[in-house]
A and B are shown apart, each in its own frame.
Chain A
Amino acid sequence: MLSKKNKEALFNPLSKDNPILVQILGICSSLAVTASLEPAIVMGISVIAVLAFSNVIISFLRKTVPTNIRIIVQLVVIAALVIIVQQILVAYNYDVSKKLSVFIGLIITNCIIMGRLEAFAMHNSPWPSFLDGVGNGLGYTIILVIVAFFRELLGSGTLFGFKVIPQWCYDHGYMDNGLMILPPMALITLGCIIWYHRAHNKELQEN
C-alpha cells in the first residue's frame, strides 16, 4: 500500500517538492483567498478533492486517451469535478462559497492540477496517483493556511473570525494593518515563507 515510492508521492509535495514554494504554481489563487483562514481552508480542501479524484480518473483513462486530445479530456474531468465541489459548497456552506466567489470555479485554471495530471497521473497507476494528488493538495493547503494565518492575525486581529488580539492593545494605540488585507502583502508574505524555506533547505538554493 505505502511502498517507498508511494510515500514519496504523498510526502514530498509537503515540503521538498511543494507546489507553491518550490514549483511556484497556483500563486494567483493563494493570493486571492488568503485574507482570512476560513476561506483558505475551504479552498485547500476543495483543491485536495479535485486534485486527488481527477488524478485517479485520468490515471484510469491514461491508456485509452489519444495523446492529441488528452488536454481536452483532462479539462473535462477537472471541470466536472469542480462543478460538483462548487455545488456541494453552495448547498452546505453558502457564506464561504460567496466569499470564495469565482475562485472555486477557477480551480479549473489552477496550474497545479494540470501540472500533476500531465506529470504524474498520465504515467502512473491510480493508487499512487491518488496519493500524489492528496500530497500536492496538502502541500498547497499548508501554505495557504500559513499565509492566511499571518494575514488574518495582522490584518484583522482575528483567527477564524474570533478576536485574538486583546482589546487592551487597541486601547493603547495598536491598529490592524490594512495592507495585510490587500493582495500585495500576500505576495510578500509568500515571499518570506519561500525565503525561510530556502534558507532551511540548502539543496533548493540556486547559485
Chain B
Amino acid sequence: MNKIEPSFRPGGKLAKLESVYDGMETFLFTPNATSRSGAHIHDGNDLKRTMITVVVALIPALLFGMYNIGYQHYLAIGQSHEGWFTMFLYGLLAMLPVIIVSYAVGLGIEFISAQIHHKEIQEGFLVTGILIPLIVPINTPLWMTAVATAFAVIFAKEVFGGTGMNIFNVALITRAFLFFAYPSRMSGDEAFVKLDSALGMGKGAVVDGFTGATPLGQVATNVGDQLHMTNIVGEPISCLDAFIGFIPGSPGETSMIAILLGAALLLITGIASWRIMCSVFVGGLGMAALVHALPSATYPASMLDPWTQLCLGGFAFGAVFMATDPVTGARTNVGQYIYGLLIGVFAILIRVYNSGYTEGMMLAILLMNAFAPLIDHCVVSSNIKRRARRAAAKE
C-alpha cells in the first residue's frame, strides 16, 4: 500500500483515483495521521466504528432472514423436513446476489461522486448497503434493486451533500422507490416467498393451496368479524410465530427476536437513541391499543391486538434500525420523544385506516424524517424562550 501511494498523490500517475486510494487505505489500515491542534475527544468512536457496530447489530436479523427464506421456500415446495443447514444455505444463495448488487451499485456511486468532488470517501453506505437487502422483498429482480439503489444514493444522498447531509433515510428511499415504481412486485402473493431455485439449489414444484401473502397482507383483505392469519401453506399462525419470525416477509423484518438482539447491542454501545426506540414502541402500542378498542370489520387491521401489531411487518425493524438513524432523526432529547411517538402513531394509523398501504412503517418514518428538523427547531426555540423568561424573572 505504501509503495503505491505516491502515484495516487497529486502529480502522480493515478492522481485521479486519490479518493479511492484513501478510502481503501483507511479501510484496511489505521491511518498514521494524528490531529495536531487541540482535539476534544470524548471517545475514540469514529464514523467507521459506529457504522460497523450497526452492521454487527444487523447480523442476527440477516442470518435469521436467510434461514427464513430457505424455510419458507422448502415449506412452499412441500419439503419442510429438510435440515436447517440446507434451508440456511438456500437463503444465503438467494440473498447473496442482492447484497452484492446493493453494495456494488451504492459504493460505486459513492466512489465516483467522492472522486468528482475530490473528497474522502465516507462510510455511510456500509449500513445502507446491508439494510437494503434486508427490507427489499426477496423476489425483487436484481436490476430493480440496482435502479432503486442508484436513485436513492444519487437523489436522497449525494445531491444533498453526501453522508450525514441527507434528509431522508437512504435505504427507505430505495424501498419507497421500488414500492411506488413497481407496485406489482412489492406486494401480494409473489413478492415475499422465493419459489424458484437459488443458483441451482432447491428445485421443486409448489404445493397446492400455496399463498404467498404476508400476515399483514392477509389482514388487509380479511372479510368478516374474525381474523384469519395463515402461513404460506394455509396453517393458522399466532403472535408467537410472528415473534420468532417464521412468517413470510422481507428478509430482515420477520423475526422480532433477532431484531431485539440487534437492538440490545445498539443500546448497550449507545449508538442508537433509546429515546427514539422506546417512544416508537410506546407510540405504536398506544395507537394499536386505541384502534383495537374500536374494532370494525371495515378496517380489519383494527382487530389485531396491540402486541401482534408490533410483531407483524416491519414495525420492529423500522423502530430499531431506521427510526434511530442519527442523521435523519431528531437530535434534541425532547424532540426524539416526539419524533418517535409520532412514527409509532402514524405507522399504525396508516396500517389500519389506509387500505392502500398494508404496511405503514416506511411511510411513517419518511414522513417524520421530513418533520424532524422542524421538531428540533420548536424544541430549541421553546427552550431558549423558557430560559430567557427565567433570566428575566431573576433580574
- A84–B385 Cα distance when bound, in Å, is 58
Seen from chain B, the residues whose Cβ lies within 8 Å of a Cβ on chain A are 141, 143-144, 147, 155, 177, 180-185
Chain A hits for B143, CB < 8 A: 173-174
**A23 is an interface residue with CB less than 8 A from chain B:** no
Stretch at the interface among A12-20, A53-61, A117-125, A178-186: A178-186
A179 touches B180 (CB 8 A): yes
Q: Which residue of A lies closest to B178 (CB)?
A: A179
Interface residues on A, range: under 10
Shortest C-beta distance, B215 to chain A (Å), equals 25
A162 to chain B, nearest CB (A): 22
A-B complex: 3 closest residue pairs judged by Cβ atoms: A179-B181, A177-B181, A179-B180
**Please, which residue of chain A has its CB at the minimum distance from the CB of B184?**
A175
> CB < 8 Å: which of B141, B147, B180 contacts A178?
B180
A182 — which chain B residues lie within 8 A by C-beta? Answer: 180
13 additional A-B residue pairs with CB within 8 Å, beyond A179-B180, A188-B155: A173-B143, A174-B143, A175-B184, A175-B185, A177-B147, A177-B181, A177-B182, A178-B180, A178-B181, A179-B177, A179-B181, A180-B181, A182-B180
A146 to chain B, nearest CB (A): 18
Q: Do B180 and A175 touch across chains, with their CB atoms under 8 A apart? A: no
**Nearest A residue to B182, CB-CB:** A175
Q: Give the residue of B141, B177, B180, B183 whose beta carbon is less than 8 angstroms from that of A173.
A: B141
CB distance from B45 to the nearest CB of A (A): 36
- Chain B nearest Cβ from A191, distance in angstroms: 8
Residues of B within 8 A of A178 (CB): 180-183
What residues on B are CB-neighbors of A177 within 8 Å?
A: 147, 181-182
Nearest opposing residue in chain B for A180, CB measure: B181
Q: A179 vs B185: C-alpha distance in the bound complex, in angstroms?
A: 13
Chain A residue nearest to B185 (CB atoms) is A175
A84 to B184, CA, bound (A): 43
Chain A residues whose C-beta falls within 8 Å of the C-beta of B182 in the assembled complex: 175, 177-178
State how many angstroms separate the Cβ of B200 from the closest Cβ of chain A: 19
Name A133-189 residues within 8 Å CB distance of B: 173-175, 177-180, 182, 188
